[in-house]
Chain A
Amino acid sequence: MAKNKDPEKPEPINQSRRQFLKATGVAPLAASVAGAAIAEAQSGAGIVGPGEVPIELMVNGKRVALRVEPRVTLLNAIRNRADLTGNKRGCDRGVCGACTMIIDGKTAYACSTLAIETVGKQIRTVDGLADGAKLHPVQQAFCDRDALMCGFCTPGFVMATVALIEKHPKPTPEQVKKGLDGNICRCGTFVRIMEAAMTASGQLATRGVTRG
């Protein structure tokens, strides 16, 4: 692969390789796990890394240009290099869910997703959920129901709940359990997280916790 002269721009896409993959029917896979740089690497035609490579991510609707080693996770890339620290790292192994982001409409453990895999995808983090000072209904419900204590797992739970409600606007309690079972809260706020999910989906009245 040709060396990229401008570090601020992503590496050029090898159109012919992409065309080739498309023609052979592997393109959807390549597109879903990779972006061009990885497609290159997997096909053996070019190798990125192990040093830093420039990538451009689409985070919360904004372009974020970064230089990362291919081994850097999405979570570490945007926390450490873009200072978007809303989503947290709990287990770093795709279990606790504190890092949950929504990538192309589906929840993903950002601690177990390579940043380079997400080039070309729409990444949503908790940092971009609110509309200015106006909280997303899920965020509002978490506050109203006190569905958080230390709050470290909360960004992940909020994102998982958002994805759940986007898929099931009126989820049943069983759907909420299934949708949020990939997240762990050590403070033990689960009862109220369930209430928050039901409140955010309009199935439970907002209780009068109005002071403050």
Chain B
Amino acid sequence: MAKAQEGRGAQPPAASGPTANAKKYAWPPKPAVLSTRVKRLDGPDKVTGKAKYSFDINRPGMIYGKVVRSPHPHARVTAIDLNAAKALPGVRAAIVWKEPGTPAAECKYQGDPVAAIAADTEELAEDAARLVKVTYDVMEHVANVEQAMENGAPAWAAGTANTRKGNAEENGNLDDGFKQAAHVVEQTYATHVITHVCMETHGCVCEWDGDKLTAWVTTQGVHGTKDGFAQGLKIPATNVRVITQYMGGGFGSKFGPDAQGLICARLAKEAGKPVKLFLDRKEEHLDSGNRPSAYAKIKAGVSADGKLTAFDAQSWGTGGAGANSNFPLPYIYNFPNRRRVHTDVFINAGQQRAMRAPGHPQGCFLTEILMDELADRVRMDPVEFRIKNLPEANLSQAWGEYFRMGAKAFGWEKRHATGDPRPGPIKNGFGVSAHRWGGGGRGGRAHCDIASDGSVVMKVGTQDLGTGTRTMVAMLTAETLGLPVSAVTPEIGDTNYPVCGASGGSTTAASISPAIRIAAGKARDAVFAKVAPELGASADDLVAENGRVFVKTNASKGMTWKDACRRLGAEPVSVDGEWEDGLSSTGTSGVQFTEVDVDIETGIVKVKRILTVQDCGLILSRLTAESQVYGGIVGSLNFALFEDRILDRVTGHMVNPNMESYLLAGLSDVPKIDIMLVDSPEQRGRGVIGIGEPPTVSTASAIANAVRNATGVTIRSLPLHPHRILAAIEEQKSGGTL
């Protein structure tokens, strides 16, 4: 089985059992704060515009940076003349990024950074960028996987191959598997490239104070970005501070300073002024990551009684200029005999980056469309067929149970067989799919301060991507100290706070929650130790609830939180906590159901409703957990129906580097969405698991299967744009598909 790319956060190895601290500070069986619906603490700042995103930072004397980029998908920079740009009044710095005559001078995609300038205003910076004279030696390029894989194709980069074939992943015996098969499906499936389209583009503000750099960056990892600046600029990491108080989306694309961050820092150094450098929308599409394409030629067998028997796949895909494109395949379902070989294909386009559940939406689509085709061959209901072929059930693989729960709630029994038999152009259909994700994490650290006035600060060097991390930090602390959420000040988004990993792979909640729980628990115990003698009890007999500290067995023997903290006097509490095993876990499962209407005269798909069953261990905040699920589903709906990075096959230029022809859903496109969050004692007992990515994996597959159910036509590649649906229907009429 393919090893899944589980995002940037490393997946923890199998748990070795809870530590002493994890047992001591186990999650409360009846939480007062956790699992409730707590409003986002920073909501008011976000709705009033007071929240300062990195893009909003305006420093005294600040000027603006602009990157000069290669207009060619493949070229060598032979000369850069900055003189005309420097001569423009108001230009304060100009630097070369691709040094002519060095190996770095080769531009490998449209938008590859070449040089940069900084000037007094944004408008002036754009003028100056246009005055930078770059001489290119234009080279042949490859704009898509078909071109790159042709015999005699030009190399995407000088002296390198356009493909990299991986080792075969094998299990069982394929020949035996196909012998057991009563039916065989052999088809090619594909998904397309999409870009992250963060609303806040990549960028930062850099300000030097002597040899110390402060950078306000829009990043998913303040500490990793700090290290990135240190390495890229060859300065000590201790000289760098990175701040991300608010950020406008990342989705896996914002993990370091990137070229534009290092460029910004260099411009600021040269100008002797703070510099703001944020990409414009076109640059963002070209040079800030994307989800790689995926293709697979699959031959799969199923026995007469509906058991999967064999799976043989050649897969390929492109992550652009030199980046990999692997994904898990087959996805979830149990093919006892299987072989799969993946080939990375390189083309002259911006490099891929992790994008919300990297690899899984691709592997899910390629497998789930095949599953419906196989189910039809054995005339089984798609849900029953899936249940029959699941791996063994456990708490992180609970699809069977969720399929039944979801089917009942969705009214799956009303599904008709493939192809809506009713007359008229509007065809209705149901679709289903399943997904999995890790969502574990480790290594987070936290620091808790309690002052003698009772005020509490929890400092964590993590960041809030919009998932609600800031609120979660306060909730976890409040739960542990028996205080209202408003009594806790959460401090995040700054490398001055304890080291935490990047927010990728849905690892944030699972890595920081144990650290916060333990830090707050230790801090609470320090308060208990101070007041225990006065209460005539041992510290172990005290509890903190509802703003009071009291004896567990005699609630009248106690005092308010403030009174207890007053006893701290000149010795405020200041303690650290870090991630320990036993309070978090990894492995989630979920299923999704969709209903669509397809107009077979226009090819337009309208998703009518979506239902998901999703687990995530202990639910920290029901409100924001649901928001994550809504968001994931809408993201996947975009993947299915709207988004498509289109590269011109001749010029290698992106045709739609904007937001008017790179389509995204609006309010009118979003259907009714029902969320069934699994909140069982067994799931709660697993501790914290992330939920950012799992919901975005399978919606696209469920939509595609619903379109198939509606139209009776199998569309084996995304996106489901109207012209592609009409073409597939035409092909079917002429006897093409199936």
Contact = CB atoms under 8 A, between A and B. Distances in A.
Nearest to B624: A146
Interface string B42-57: 1110111111110110
Contacts of A185: 199
Contacts of B471: 212
A211 B58 contact: no
Contact of B673 (A71, A126, A151, A191): A191
Given A95-B659, A186-B249, A212 B47 contact: no
Nearest to A208: B37
A13 B297 CA distance: 71
Contact of B248 (A150, A189, A192): A150
A154 interface: yes
Contact of A126 (B49, B53, B246, B624): B49
B160 interface: no
B43 A191 contact: no
Contact of A184 (B36, B51, B666): B666
Given A146-B40, A180-B666, A181-B666, A86 B49 contact: yes
A143 B670 CA distance: 20
Given A129-B48, A135-B47, A150-B248, A72 B635 contact: no
Given A85-B52, A135-B44, A146-B624, A193 B667 contact: yes
A184 B664 contact: yes
Given A72-B123, A88-B53, A149 B466 contact: yes
Contact of A209 (B38, B41, B635, B659): B38
B200 A146 contact: no
Nearest to B250: A150
Given A150-B199, A150-B465, A176 B667 contact: yes
B157 interface: no
B121 interface: yes
Contacts of B486: 212
Given A91-B658, A150-B466, A190-B634, A211 B37 contact: yes
B33 interface: yes
Nearest to B40: A146
A138 to B, nearest CB: 8
Contact of A177 (B122, B280, B628, B667): B667
Interface string B544-582: 000000000000000000000000000000000000000
A158 interface: yes
Contacts of B249: 150, 152, 186-187
Contact of B485 (A90, A92, A135, A211): A211
Nearest to A133: B44
Interface in B381-425: none
B199 A153 contact: yes
Given A93-B660, A95-B658, A186-B197, A149 B627 contact: yes
Contacts of A98: 199
A88 B623 contact: no
A154 B50 CA distance: 12
Contact of A96 (B49, B199, B474): B199
Interface in B343-393: none
B281 interface: yes
Nearest to B246: A151
A190 B658 contact: no
A154 B48 CA distance: 9
Nearest to B124: A69
Given A146-B624, A189-B631, A180 B667 contact: yes
A83 interface: yes
A95 B197 CA distance: 13
A148 B40 contact: yes
A164 B492 CA distance: 36
Contacts of B251: 186
Contact of B122 (A76, A86, A139, A153): A76
Given A211-B39, A212-B471, A194 B667 contact: yes
> Considering residues B197, B485, B668, which has the most beta carbons from chain A within 10 angstroms of its beta carbon?
B668
Interface in A186-212: 186-194, 207-212
B659 A93 contact: yes
Interface string A75-87: 0100110011111
B198 interface: yes
B49 A143 contact: no
Contact of B123 (A69, A146, A154, A158): A69
A176 B667 CA distance: 8
A211 B36 contact: yes
A93 B658 contact: yes
Given A146-B623, A191-B630, A186 B52 contact: no
Main DSSP-derived SS at the A contact region: loop
B281 A93 contact: yes
A181 B668 contact: yes
Contacts, number: 198
B39 A149 contact: no
Interface string A112-139: 0000000000000111011000010001
A154 B46 contact: yes
A188 B635 contact: yes
A105 to B, nearest CB: 20
Nearest to B468: A149
A107 interface: no
B199 A186 contact: yes
Interface string B610-635: 00000000000001101110111111
A142 B634 contact: no
B178 to A, nearest CB: 42
B467 interface: yes
A212 B485 contact: yes
B247 interface: yes
A84 B467 CA distance: 25
A184 B659 contact: yes
Nearest to B56: A85
Contacts of B485: 211-212
B55 A130 contact: no
B718 to A, nearest CB: 18
Contacts of B37: 207-209, 211
A151 to B, nearest CB: 3
Contacts of A96: 199, 659
Nearest to A143: B43
A147 to B, nearest CB: 9
Contacts of B465: 150
Given A151-B466, A212-B471, A86 B623 contact: no
Contact of A90 (B41, B50, B52, B281): B281
A88 B200 contact: yes
A204 B54 CA distance: 35
B47 A142 contact: yes
A155 B668 CA distance: 19
Nearest to B627: A146
B665 interface: yes
Nearest to A83: B58
A127 B48 contact: yes
> Considering residues A92, A93, A211, which has the most beta carbons from chain B within 10 angstroms of its beta carbon?
A211
Interface string B461-496: 000011110010010000000001110000000000
Contacts of A194: 667, 670
* 5 nearest A-B pairs in the assembled complex, by CB-CB distance: A86-B49, A188-B634, A152-B248, A150-B466, A151-B46
Interface of A: 69, 71-72, 76, 79-80, 83-93, 95-96, 98, 125-127, 129-130, 135, 139, 142-144, 146, 148-155, 158, 176-178, 180-194, 207-212
7 contacts: A86-B50, A88-B200, A139-B47, A143-B44, A188-B632, A190-B670, A212-B38
Interface of B: 33, 36-44, 46-53, 55-56, 58, 121-123, 197-200, 246-249, 251, 280-281, 465-468, 471, 474, 484-486, 623-624, 626-628, 630-635, 638, 658-660, 664-668, 670, 673
Given A139-B44, A184-B199, 17 more contacts: A84-B49, A88-B248, A91-B659, A91-B660, A146-B624, A146-B627, A150-B248, A151-B246, A184-B666, A186-B664, A188-B638, A190-B665, A193-B667, A194-B667, A211-B33, A211-B37, A212-B41
